[in-house]
Structure 1
Amino acid sequence: MADTIAMARVVGSAEAAAFVNLSLAHWLRLSREGKVPAPVRLGARKLGWRIGTLVNFVMERAA
């Protein structure tokens, strides 16, 4: 149960970039180009990414 909650947690752009070890500018560029997982819209100007999605993204890049 705790793992499910942790994987569903949503983080902002800066934390998502740090999680995948990229600069914020590079992360945002890749996001605009559709080369990273699609974000969750949290508000009119706020985007977020689920930790589970980021974990899968990192694992795919490592393979």
Structure 2
Amino acid sequence: MKDATASGRIIGSAERRRLLPFSDMHIWRLEKAGRFPRRIKIGDHRVGWALDEILDWIEARKSQRG
């Protein structure tokens, strides 16, 4: 279940890494393959991810387990 504070929140790489133990390169590969939420460009040298999309992605993985 998503936290109400997640709605609309954009997180950076450090917080994404705390949620998911994947390398930046692995996340990039998943994004390119369409298997992970796409990053959002928030500045010239800064990207982020929609927290609610990442939480949905995690929940979908949890529901796939046996």
Report how many aligned residue pairs link the two structures: 60
Higher share of residues assigned helix = 1
Match of 1:44 in 2: 44
> TM-score scaled by structure 2?
0.67
Q: Which runs of 5+ in 1 are unaligned?
A: none
Q: CA RMSD in A?
A: 2.1
Counterpart for residue 14 of structure 1: 14
Amino acid at match of 2:47: L
Matched, 1:58 2:58: yes
Q: Which segments of structure 1 move beyond 6 Å, counting only runs of 4 or more?
A: none
Q: Taking every aligned residue pair, what percent have the same amino acid on both sides?
A: 25
Q: Which residue of 2 aligns with 1:32?
A: 32
Q: Which has the larger radius of gyration?
A: 2
Q: C-alpha displacement at 1:25, in angstroms?
A: 2.4
SS state at 1:38 partner? coil
Distance 1:15 1:60 in 2: 19
